[in-house]
């Protein structure tokens, strides 16, 4: 019988809206809210971390895939912009990803790495795609 893949999150209040959470990796992440809601504006907001998690998920995929393809590059960057619904719960409705890479990178390999991440490997983007329209573009800067 296959074992379930279970994730467990523990969250502790530090002070006011400042909270700390950790998951199976046992690394604490601090979150906070804006001062207008009695937060301390001392850490990222939970929705910011959601986008950061998606950025990390797809980027780690792409870096790994490019490494397996033996693609050499000088630098890599991903920028994400997102629009939220105007009413509560203010979910993301549109997410734009701009993948950027510097070096003599074959376009077909960079594009393939992005597509594999977005359609097969990145679970964070797969979850967000259920709620938001996701648009992707990429730029290669030859040096």
Burial of 62 (0-12, 13-18, 19+ CB in 10 A): buried
Please tell me the predicted confidence (pLDDT) of residue 4: 81
Q: Which CATH superfamily is domain 46-141 in?
A: K homology (KH) domain (3.30.300.20)
pLDDT of 32 strictly over 60: yes
Tokens of 103: 């070096």
92-118 per-position pLDDT tens digit? 999 999 999 999 999 999 999 999 999
* Residue 27 token pair: 């690394």
Cis peptide bond upstream of 89, omega within 30:
yes
Extents of the domains making up the chain: 1-43, 46-141
Q: Mean pLDDT for the chain? A: 95
Beta sheet of 18-22, edge-to-edge order: 10-15, 18-22, 29-31
């Amino acid at each position: 019988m296959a074992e379930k893949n279970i994730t467990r999150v523990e969250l502790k209040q530090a002070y006011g809206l400042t909270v700390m959470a950790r998951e199976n990796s046992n690394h604490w992440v601090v979150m906070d809210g804006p001062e207008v809601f009695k937060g301390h504006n001392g850490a990222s907001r939970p929705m910011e971390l959601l986008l950061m998690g998606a950025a990390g998920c797809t980027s780690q995929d792409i870096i790994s895939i490019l490494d397996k393809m033996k693609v050499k590059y000088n630098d890599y960057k991903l920028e994400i912009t997102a629009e939220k619904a105007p009413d509560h719960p203010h979910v993301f409705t549109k997410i734009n990803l701009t993948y950027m890479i510097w070096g003599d990178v074959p376009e077909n390999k960079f594009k393939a790495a992005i597509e594999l991440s977005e359609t097969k490997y990145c679970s964070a983007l797969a979850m967000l795609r259920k709620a938001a329209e996701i648009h992707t573009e990429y730029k290669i800067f030859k040096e």
